[in-house]
């Protein structure tokens, strides 16, 4: 029976889609904090290609966010939840590589979308030298002049991603305090504006009490890890580091929609 086979094929397809996408999960409350790294075409030798989101996809994702009524705000505003608009979202970039200016910034500007870039303050104007070039060919990092120019547009703000992008758990007290305080001081003196948002390199230390209390002691208002999920409404530091939604190069729009409405797209 043809109809029977078709029915079976449809059921198999539905089962496959249900295993791939979490459409069957209930919608969850919470604030989507999108985590991007690079926008553009990955170098052929890159082993981190999933972190390079195509500019056309980036634009479609932001357009979708706006169409759903979200209002993108600077990351550090999550540290002052009483001041947030009714339906906030946050667009973040880790590392501050030059593609953020060359590929992402024109799209942010054309759509009027706010975003926060977490800078590695000790590598500004050089390259992402903390990465092994065997995994990821080095990329140029933003210079302080470029960061100032982006900030002047009124949409882009900056947070700290440390001085040298270490695994913070491996550092002694003195080195830990320096990575946190010196990056904050440097960003504030170069950009002439206070910064209150911090993102842990590799997400490392976000759930380590010693590291996290050092982040608070350095004066940050809010801290971002890499665990997948939505940020709670009315976040307080005691709730733990803020979760984010990693956007991958091969994500479909359905992944994006499920991420922002359910905190995850895949099993
Ligand atoms: Zn990073």
pLDDT at 2: 62
Q: 95 CA distance to ligand 1 centroid (A)?
A: 5
Q: 69 CA distance to ligand 1 centroid (A)?
A: 29
Q: 171 CA distance to ligand 1 centroid (A)?
A: 17
Q: 130 CA distance to ligand 1 centroid (A)?
A: 9
Burial 170-190 (b: 16+ CB within 10 A, else e): ebeeeebeebbbbbbebbbeb
- Domains, the chain, in order of start with CATH, read 2-262 (3.20.20.370)
Per-residue pLDDT band at 3 (split at 50, 70, 90): low
The pTM of this model reads: 0.94
Distance (Å, rounded) from C-alpha 214 to C-alpha 177? 7
Distance (Å, rounded) from C-alpha 222 to C-alpha 80? 9
pLDDT at 202: 97
Q: 165 CA distance to ligand 1 centroid (A)?
A: 6
**50-59, 126-135, 138-147, 245-254 — which is least confidently predicted?**
126-135
176-183 LR contacts (CB < 8 Å, sep 24+): 176/210, 176/211, 176/214, 177/214, 177/217, 177/218, 180/214, 180/215, 180/217, 180/218, 180/220, 181/218, 181/219, 182/121, 183/119, 183/120, 183/121, 183/122
pLDDT at 240: 97
**Token digits for 195?**
């910064």
Residues 6+ away with beta carbon under 8 Å from 175: 166
pLDDT surpasses 60 at 23:
yes
Q: 2 CA distance to ligand 1 centroid (A)?
A: 53
Q: 34 CA distance to ligand 1 centroid (A)?
A: 14
Q: 243 CA distance to ligand 1 centroid (A)?
A: 15
Distance (Å, rounded) from C-alpha 94 to C-alpha 119? 7
CA distances from 20 to 17, 74, 250, 254, 265 (A): 5, 32, 13, 11, 8
Per-residue pLDDT band at 69 (split at 50, 70, 90): very high
Q: 207 CA distance to ligand 1 centroid (A)?
A: 17
Distance (Å, rounded) from C-alpha 222 to C-alpha 230? 15
Per-residue pLDDT band at 25 (split at 50, 70, 90): confident
pLDDT surpasses 90 at 218:
yes
pLDDT tens-digit readout, 91-106: 999 999 999 999 999 9
Q: 14 CA distance to ligand 1 centroid (A)?
A: 37
pLDDT at 74: 98
Q: 198 CA distance to ligand 1 centroid (A)?
A: 11
Distance (Å, rounded) from C-alpha 83 to C-alpha 120? 28
Q: 166 CA distance to ligand 1 centroid (A)?
A: 9
Q: What value does the mean pLDDT of the chain take?
A: 94
- The residue among 155 and 265 whose pLDDT is bigger is 155
pLDDT surpasses 90 at 1:
no
Q: 3 CA distance to ligand 1 centroid (A)?
A: 52
pLDDT at 6: 75
Q: 225 CA distance to ligand 1 centroid (A)?
A: 10
Taking phi over 0 as left and psi of -120 to 50 as alpha, with beta for the rest, 93 belongs to beta
């Amino acid at each position: 029976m043809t109809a029977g086979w078709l029915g079976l094929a449809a059921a198999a397809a539905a089962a496959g889609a249900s295993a791939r996408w979490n459409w069957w999960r209930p919608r969850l409350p919470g604030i989507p904090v999108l985590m991007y790294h690079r926008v553009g075409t990955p170098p052929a030798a890159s082993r981190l290609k999933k972190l390079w989101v195509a500019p056309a996809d980036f634009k479609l994702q932001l357009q979708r966010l706006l169409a759903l009524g979200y209002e993108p705000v600077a990351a550090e505003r999550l540290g002052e939840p009483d001041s947030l608009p009714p339906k906030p979202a946050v667009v973040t970039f880790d590392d501050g590589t030059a593609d953020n200016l060359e590929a992402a910034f024109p799209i942010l500007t054309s759509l009027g979308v706010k975003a926060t870039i977490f800078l590695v303050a000790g590598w500004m104007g050089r390259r992402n030298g903390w990465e092994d070039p065997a995994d990821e060919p080095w990329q140029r990092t933003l210079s302080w002049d470029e960061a100032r120019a982006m900030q002047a547009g009124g949409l882009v703000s900056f947070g700290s991603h440390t001085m040298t992008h270490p695994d913070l758990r491996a550092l002694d007290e003195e080195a830990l305090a320096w990575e946190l305080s010196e990056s904050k001081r440097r960003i504030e003196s170069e950009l002439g504006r206070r910064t209150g948002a911090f993102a842990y390199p590799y997400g490392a230390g976000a759930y380590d009490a010693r590291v996290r209390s050092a982040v608070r002691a350095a004066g940050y208002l809010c801290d971002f890890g890499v665990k997948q999920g939505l940020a709670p409404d009315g976040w307080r530091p005691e709730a733990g580091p803020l979760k984010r939604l990693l956007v991958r190069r091969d994500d479909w729009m359905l992944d994006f929609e499920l991420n922002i409405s359910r905190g995850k797209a895949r099993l």
